[in-house]
Structure 1
Amino acid sequence: MDLHVVGEEPPERGDAARNRQRVLVAANELLHSCGAEALTMDALAERAGVGKGTIFRRFGSRAGLMRALVNESEIDLQRRIVFGPPPLGPGTDPISRLAAFGPAVLETLELHGAVILAGQTKPGARYEHPAYQFQLTHVLMLLRQARAAGDHRLLAESLLATIDVPLVRFQRNQLGMSLDRLGAHWEWLVRATVQSPS
């Protein structure tokens, strides 16, 4: 996936940007209501009020559309982390920010986990992907700010492993665990791992 991180989005013409946004909003609505399997180009064109040709010209294929949805979702998450209100964004203590981070990622995985998982064809490639690197950098920064004991890099990777796509999808689909349960466990794990400085 060609993720454009916050502040690096490529410029678009006004009408192209509007059409792109209409398609992405409609696609997200269909994903929420019907799931990824029911997201057809015909249904999307009707929902967005554009021709199928417009969708194909902008995204190339259904796979290209799905990649764009994941990128849009990741960019939105990054914006909320960097510029949004606390506790996910700046303005509170690092432990509270770290506790809020897991549930925010879980929300993204709930909507786009199937697409993200399908794109993970090369073992280990996801750990070099800009989205993962952003998340790793963010968690590392918060662990350092919280003065966590131990190896910060290994701690960050261990925490991120608990919200990795294959595991979360198995927990949700095969074990029937709720998002609330997974989010509460993330917060418990963060607070058990990172103690407030005395």
Structure 2
Amino acid sequence: PGGGAEVFSERVHQIMYKPKIGADRWLAVHRAAHRMGIPTNATLLYGHIETFEERIDHLIALRELEDEAPGFLSFIPLAFQPGHTGIVERQTSAIDDLRMIATSRLVLDNFPHIKAYWVMVGEDTASIALNFGADDIDGTIGEERIAHAANASSPLGLTRQRLLHLIREAGRVPVERDAKYNVITIHDEHADRPDPVPQH
């Protein structure tokens, strides 16, 4: 759990997604989940009508909640896909995406993971983002539909080999994980066959 945060700004809430719950309710749900021992994730939808100040306010609210009731596994900044919405003329640039990821890593120093979601920012930007504060670019994904319903230009899915290449191209070692970031397999830097994780 953890999607749907959009932007915590009430101004944006009233204009963009009034029927959805607001910031206070979203934060309350996650506070309760964390206190029950249920880990969650957090998102921010950026690149539409929000201001830079509203982005930072969103990050600070998440940081304060994690200090109060720890339990977030990761933060995923989601680049808005304009499609034919008419809300904005163009998608976020790679510079904006990388700036957002780097800022997230600096502000959310109490979050263990920052994800550069390749579906939203594209393969190349996601790879570069591994040197801008991100430590996760998500998985192969069989057939992504949400972003592509808004005409996302990224592929519907990636092969395992392509994903390994993107991570290695950034100078990183690919690590397969489960939903809670427990390590399953560490992939050797040069070999196609993975190295098994030692069992303790």
Q: Which has the higher helix share?
A: 1
Q: Which has the higher strand share?
A: 2
TM-score, scaled relative to structure 2: 0.33
TM-score, scaled relative to structure 1: 0.33
Structure with the bigger RCO (C-alpha within 8 Å, sep 6+) is 1
